Structure 1
């Protein structure tokens, strides 16, 4: 590391630099290449011969094959044998497999090389889906963001999927998908966990440009002077208190024959002090480096689209700045002019995410997208409502909300619809401007969404509030403790399955970045 050590000048995406090798083998490799083996076991079925135990012998350990069970046994060659319960075969889905694969990875934390056998019998999902879920579960369970001295914790170096030759082609496709999805989620996690002094708005733009070439993306990063010329008063207003310049990062994924055009807008508050409306100095304040999780999730998702063969054109805007108190900071009572000319009276400088995203939403609409989705760590009210396992979703197009719910179920990043109750719009009325940035003391998630709706016009739109899911209190299956990077997997599934609401015809071609 060079430069000022107080600036924390280290790699903001360290976990992606030396990824674990993932391979497929027709037979189990030697113990030196796979120190632990996961063997799926169904309820009521005779355990595979690998385990060296019959059903009665395995039952002595308390293991019955129930979904989510694990039992670690010593193998004759010194390998750790891990029975993983998958339950009844007709109930096996990708969520279950992802979870049990993660449980396996956590059950043998001392081992750096792992192998997983594909079941020999038919399940309710394909071999490709099984392999994809295994790769996601293992790689994400073993993900780690660490930038200090080596503390001796074992990292994953190799994952082998043991599959018969007859299904290896399908398995290879599933493995490739799993690697792309897991890497996207890891990028989102890395960025969300990176300290704000290291990951400034400008650095976020640099990371996007670094990742763009290998992901088939075109990137533009707009600085302060360009944002002034563009009339992006929301981003500029929030940035007034900072010594670091803002960035509006535009990413474009353009497949050769797009079947639709999806817009994404992400909140990228690199650190949220609350501004003049300063947050209390408690644990939640220390977590505010992850107030850019929405932008991180979009960037992570965008890196996977080309590898997955996505046919949807996607244009994304990452609205990046920190929100700091200073002599030049945005003040209560200030009036900002958004990209579309809407004036906003600032009643609370800690309601800043909606201000930066307003500009991004305007620009996405100008791009002529078929639909736009924004994603943001927006309101504590959503956390109070849904806890840490569900994100909130609201929108003006039920078809789009349904697509997000389906994507959430498949990716296991679930969303729950909250009512977009428009009578609450009156709480955003101002006597001196078009609207305020803050509603009343109640229904904060809804009034925040109603604010954002003002900037999409008639375009189908949905808002995903991830304040509830962006920080996890403890490890759980493939989820990590700390900033979770929630949303990357969700947005990948949405883009892969996207259908333009209310239209079956392809949209007009999206413009390329200049």
Structure 2
């Protein structure tokens, strides 16, 4: 990875420490009590207790444990392993999301231990593969910490997880675990990249990371430098980059399935490595420490490609990561400037802090020129999505009901929750400009929708869904499998979209 010596970054530093830190996860016939530090038992709030639970419900209640979802009760004993009861809630409500949450609760309760096992007496109506996948994801993601810059990491790395699923086909469950490890690793990679300080991960660095990941996980990478972007006429990316001392990069990713392709999906990720707001400078408050995460969309798209070969995705998938920081300087683009997108559309800049849509407009045109069957873009695009939906939901907006449904179904499967907002054409006139084809912002209301309407100008008639993840890019505290910091939101969701994608007939 190219490094500026003045940054004093250690030679052994890596932007993706999670890559080789994934624990071994196995479905077993019997938990190995001699090798495990802690064993969890999933307990529903109704029905009979699983055999072997050492205390009855009355004793559990006296200890304050009612088996509600997310609750745990550690039962100290004379030796190891530690026994932990893990609440699962009502049996009828035990689905993949509840299993993922339960595994996360157990993993957090045993954070001092490297080798843990979880017994799951019932998986409800969930099939074996989906249940095991959810359990693996919950365990791995809940233990995630970004510790690449700590000399002495504060948390114990997770080395081994054993899963005992009563009455479940072990072969199917093992296949689910394999999938869960791949998807959790992808989400952890996205978290690593978004958590990395901006001085440690420039657009150039991300290009280097992509090349390394492509070599390892079987996808093609093409990195475009400033001159190549000039030759392509990518005026949006170049305009936003004008105030920066760091070069921009467009990183093009390509996964080609080994057999016949089931279609061609385009993924576009916003990659603002740090967003100062440019001339429209952001205030210096704690919220804007998070602007290193303004490349969370690009991080998630890159992470998706690490999973496609392993999961045997059948669609061709091409990704565009539009990467630069947005900085104020004497050369920065200004309010009133007019940028020309790839393809010739001119855009009046009315706010330099509405930069994500400017870098993405070039990629959307390029995706159409590539002949993709559909596009999904993902971006930390608008604060209004956070105001509208809060931190638990991302906004999905688009021009095609089938693509929106595909995204919603993937969101349900992965528990990366979304809510559809309207692509209301009545607001389109807010983007009119007196001097260019359109302006980069609308009025004071419905900002998530007007931002999507701007992107829609470059999508045209191609089936398209837009994910605004400004609300879900980070968690202020540990929350089930969402660890404090960057969430990696969108990586698992888009993997599911890619695996299920087929073009409309």
Deviation at 1:312, TM superposition (A): 1.8
Matched, 1:346 2:337: no
Q: Distance in 1 between matches of 2:292 and 2:123?
A: 45
* Contact 2:269–2:322, Cα closer than 8 Å, also in 1: yes
In the alignment, which residue of structure 2 is the partner of 1:329?
Answer: 332
SS state at 1:87 partner: coil
In the alignment, which residue of structure 2 is the partner of 1:512?
Answer: none
Gaps of 5+ in 2: none
In the alignment, which residue of structure 1 is the partner of 2:41?
Answer: 39
SS state at 1:310 partner: coil
Deviation at 1:42, TM superposition (A): 2.3
Alignment equivalent of 2:442, drawn from 436, 439, 442: 439
* Contact 1:46–1:55, Cα closer than 8 Å, also in 2: no
In the alignment, which residue of structure 2 is the partner of 1:271?
Answer: 274
* Contact 2:376–2:465, Cα closer than 8 Å, also in 1: yes
- What is the TM-score of this pair, normalised by structure 1? 0.94
Deviation at 1:499, TM superposition (A): 3.0
SS state at 2:375 partner: strand
Deviation at 1:45, TM superposition (A): 3.1
* Contact 2:264–2:315, Cα closer than 8 Å, also in 1: yes
* Contact 1:270–1:291, Cα closer than 8 Å, also in 2: yes
Q: Distance in 2 between matches of 1:332 and 1:313?
A: 39
In the alignment, which residue of structure 1 is the partner of 2:457?
Answer: 454
SS state at 1:44 partner: coil
Q: Distance in 2 between matches of 1:343 and 1:92?
A: 52
Q: Distance in 2 between matches of 1:397 and 1:250?
A: 25
Matched, 1:469 2:472: yes
Q: Distance in 1 between matches of 2:342 and 2:160?
A: 49
Deviation at 1:76, TM superposition (A): 5.3
Q: Which moved more, 1:158-167 or 1:450-459?
A: 158-167
Alignment equivalent of 2:419, drawn from 416, 430, 440: 416
In the alignment, which residue of structure 1 is the partner of 2:409?
Answer: 406
1:14-25 pair list within 5 angstroms? 14-25=17-28
* Contact 1:238–1:352, Cα closer than 8 Å, also in 2: yes
In the alignment, which residue of structure 1 is the partner of 2:243?
Answer: 241
In the alignment, which residue of structure 2 is the partner of 1:509?
Answer: none
In the alignment, which residue of structure 1 is the partner of 2:100?
Answer: 98
Q: Distance in 2 between matches of 1:3 and 1:395?
A: 41
Flag the 1:116–1:315 CA change in 2: closer, same or farther, 3 A.
same
Q: Distance in 2 between matches of 1:122 and 1:440?
A: 49
* Contact 2:119–2:166, Cα closer than 8 Å, also in 1: no
SS state at 1:455 partner: helix
SS state at 1:438 partner: coil
Q: Distance in 1 between matches of 2:289 and 2:58?
A: 51
* Contact 1:184–1:303, Cα closer than 8 Å, also in 2: yes
In the alignment, which residue of structure 1 is the partner of 2:87?
Answer: 85
Q: Distance in 1 between matches of 2:277 and 2:166?
A: 56
Q: Distance in 2 between matches of 1:471 and 1:122?
A: 30
Deviation at 1:73, TM superposition (A): 0.9
Deviation at 1:211, TM superposition (A): 0.8
Q: Which moved more, 1:84-93 or 1:4-13?
A: 4-13
Deviations 1:29-48 (A, max 9, x none): 134x2111111122333333
Q: Distance in 2 between matches of 1:308 and 1:246?
A: 32
SS state at 2:357 partner: helix
SS state at 2:436 partner: coil
In the alignment, which residue of structure 1 is the partner of 2:203?
Answer: 201
Deviation at 1:456, TM superposition (A): 1.0
Deviations 1:183-211 (A, max 9, x none): 00000100000011111001111111111
Matched, 1:280 2:283: yes
In the alignment, which residue of structure 1 is the partner of 2:161?
Answer: 159
Matched, 1:295 2:275: no
* Contact 1:118–1:127, Cα closer than 8 Å, also in 2: no
Deviation at 1:175, TM superposition (A): 0.8
Deviation at 1:112, TM superposition (A): 1.6
Flag the 1:5–1:22 CA change in 2: closer, same or farther, 3 A.
farther
Deviations 1:48-77 (A, max 9, x none): 333322344334323343333321112454
Deviation at 1:285, TM superposition (A): 1.9
SS state at 2:493 partner: helix
Deviation at 1:18, TM superposition (A): 2.4
Q: Distance in 1 between matches of 2:278 and 2:6?
A: 26
Deviation at 1:417, TM superposition (A): 0.7
Q: Distance in 2 between matches of 1:439 and 1:229?
A: 30
Q: Which moved more, 1:411-420 or 1:50-59?
A: 50-59
> Please, what is the CA RMSD of the aligned residues?
1.8
Deviations 1:148-173 (A, max 9, x none): 21044322121112357972211210
Q: Distance in 2 between matches of 1:152 and 1:451?
A: 44
- What is the TM-score of this pair, normalised by structure 2? 0.95
Deviations 1:4-27 (A, max 9, x none): 363545311112222222233322
Alignment equivalent of 1:366, drawn from 366, 369, 381: 369
1:65-144 pair list within 5 angstroms? 65-75=67-77, 77-119=79-121, 121=122, 123-144=124-145
* Contact 1:46–1:54, Cα closer than 8 Å, also in 2: no
Q: Distance in 2 between matches of 1:46 and 1:427?
A: 61
Alignment equivalent of 1:220, drawn from 216, 222, 225: 222
Deviation at 1:142, TM superposition (A): 0.3
SS state at 1:303 partner: helix
**Would you say how many aligned residue pairs link Structure 1 and Structure 2?**
500
Flag the 1:277–1:66 CA change in 2: closer, same or farther, 3 A.
closer
* Contact 1:239–1:324, Cα closer than 8 Å, also in 2: yes
